Homo-oligomer: A and B are copies of this chain.
Amino acid sequence: MSGTESVKIVIVGGVAGGASAATRARRCNENAEIILFEKDEYVSFANCGLPYYIGGEITERSKLLVATPELFKNRFNIDVRTNHLVQSIDVENKTVSVLNQVTGESSTESWDRLILSPGAAPIVPPLPGINAQNVFTLRNLNDTDAIKDYIEQHTCRRAVVVGAGFIGLEMVEQLHHLKMETNLVELQPQVLPPLDPEMARLIQNELTAHDVKLHLGTALEKVNVENETAVGVELGNGTTLETDLIILGIGVAPATGLAKEAGLEIGKFGGISVNEFMQTSCPEIYAVGDAVEYMHGVLMQPLRIPLAGPANRAGRIAGQHAATGSADPMMSPVGTAIVRVFGLTAAMTGLSKKFAEKASRTNRSVIVVPKHHAGYYPGAESLFLKLTYDPETERVLGAQAIGKEGVDKRIDVIATALKFRASIRDLAGLDLAYAPPFGSAKDPVHIAAFVAGNDLDGLASIVEVDADLDAYQILDVRTDKEVETFSLPKIIHIPVDELRQRLSELDPAKPIVTVCHTALRAYIATRILKQSGFKDVRNLTGGMLMQRYARSDMFE
């Protein structure tokens, strides 16, 4: 197709992926006929903004409506039909059957190219009481209106949020803004399950500091209901909580019903299989968004990545390809994600250590805690940055960052580097923007890469944050005062500046792990020891600062 040929494109689903596909298709082909069916009342709404509207940070509901059917018509000549449910696909005859949910009428619509952007449905576990009127999921504008109406019409002092993923945490924050006493229930033993546990604990601390009650490693088992209204929950660990409101943020299941019925190929993780132009196993049918499996850029295998960024980019590609027969291929996403939790931001890209282990990838992780900009400039905040890499290929596998400021920037830099299969050496040499209000001459990204490089070169091999230390002499090189505050058990304590004179206090036959506050002085100590005849000396990455989180049982 040349881009001016007539082609009839039918799109199923009108939010991120579907709306992007529709407008791109029009821009690429003025002569296409474009029909967009949306089963709900609204198209192209700001789904990532919904929690912020519930909490009142976004004050005007109209701001959530990015584009209306009228705009689609007037500006793009796109025929948007809301409240229209596509019920089946006839692949052979190239039609869909559609139910008008307002009139109840069914009809058939033909297509030359079909784009599926059905999204995903929030998971609602089949538990007693789960259908009470004040148990909500949050996926679309109707859900949002329902939650907001309920809160306005009832006295909600207490809330239970089930699921500590991104949406769960955003809702916790917003319910706290609304002054509700909030309980957070999560089946995994940590919040933000994609993160490594010690990183997640930083967020847990922030939640606790804002009086959010955490119930981790336990499941919702039952909703206690009175007069069709949930009044409490019972958890697997025996805890009972009273509540005025329940939000389920357990996860989403890809809406693949239509695709399955049409015989389209489904991937290993339950999403619709697509190629780099978002074509399904039937090349005239495209699929994008939360219902598909994208090729993951680090794992190089298809994976569900139900996030807005990939959905928007994929929609654009599908729209162009459907309208013209060609497009730039979809670039593999790497699972970059971010969430603000009160004063902290947590973000990640690529693989966490946990994820790397699960994928059986050789991996090592360093943790550094530099300031987010020059330490001497006012307002410098600690940035916790964990960098995971393959010690054999030296390739960066992923990163996690948590802090008050500058988290998004470092994760975006590393996400960019991941696209180019960067090595640790590449990160160490990046020419990043520096002036005191913005960074440091040695940026946190550089520092993490330096530490990883020193590990790879054997200059200062690291011991991971949660490693078993029993086999080591633990050499703590902090000051007396620092050690008094808290330390690991059974340490040998020699401040770094005295080390050269006190080498005889250490046993050269036994491995040594060095530790200080953030691992900088420990690194210097490691270098002194390694060059003074001590053969097996390693650095405890992240220092005592991270031990508080990595071995929190020890310090709580």
Q: Which residues of A are at the interface with B, using a C-beta cutoff of 8 A?
A: 3-4, 16, 26-31, 46, 48-49, 52, 57-58, 63-64, 66, 74-77, 166, 170, 297, 307-313, 316, 328, 330-340, 345, 347, 349, 374-378, 408-409, 411-413, 415-420, 422, 425-426, 428-439, 441-443, 446, 450, 453, 459, 496-497, 500, 521, 523-524, 527-528, 531-532
Contact = CB atoms under 8 A, between A and B. Distances in A.
B434 A308 contact: yes
A331 B431 contact: yes
Q: What are the nearest 10 A-B pairs in CB distance?
A: A331-B429, A30-B531, A420-B420, A338-B433, A63-B376, A409-B409, A308-B441, A312-B441, A333-B431, A416-B416
A428 B435 CA distance: 27
B433 A58 contact: no
Given A335-B431, A374-B48, A434-B308, A497 B349 contact: no
25 contacts: A3-B531, A27-B524, A29-B531, A46-B374, A57-B377, A64-B376, A66-B376, A75-B521, A297-B431, A309-B431, A309-B443, A316-B450, A328-B425, A331-B430, A331-B431, A334-B431, A337-B434, A339-B435, A347-B433, A409-B409, A411-B433, A412-B433, A413-B413, A415-B430, A420-B426
Given A435-B340, A531-B29, A75 B524 contact: yes
Given A338-B433, A339-B435, A30 B425 contact: no
B429 A378 contact: no
A105 B259 CA distance: 87
Given A4-B531, A311-B441, A331-B431, A412 B413 contact: yes
A142 to B, nearest CB: 18
Given A46-B376, A328-B429, A340-B437, 20 more contacts: A27-B459, A30-B527, A30-B528, A48-B441, A52-B377, A58-B378, A310-B431, A328-B428, A336-B434, A337-B434, A340-B435, A347-B433, A408-B433, A415-B430, A415-B432, A416-B416, A419-B429, A419-B430, A419-B431, A420-B420
Contact of A416 (B330, B430, B459, B532): B430
Contacts of A413: 412-413, 416
Contacts of A446: 313
A26 B334 CA distance: 38
Contacts of A74: 497
A58 B334 contact: no
Contact of A434 (B63, B338, B417, B418): B338
What is the oligomeric copy number?
Answer: 2
A517 to B, nearest CB: 14
A377 B48 CA distance: 10
Contacts of A428: 313, 328, 331
A420 B28 CA distance: 30
A491 B400 CA distance: 51
Contacts of A408: 409, 433, 438-439
A330 B426 CA distance: 10
B331 A374 contact: no
Nearest to A47: B441
A340 to B, nearest CB: 5
A32 B443 CA distance: 28
Nearest to A410: B412
A312 B435 contact: no
B432 A309 contact: yes
Contacts of A376: 46, 49, 58, 63-64, 66
A49 B419 contact: no
Contacts of A30: 527-528, 531-532
Nearest to A297: B431
A412 B438 CA distance: 11
A60 to B, nearest CB: 9
A31 B531 contact: yes
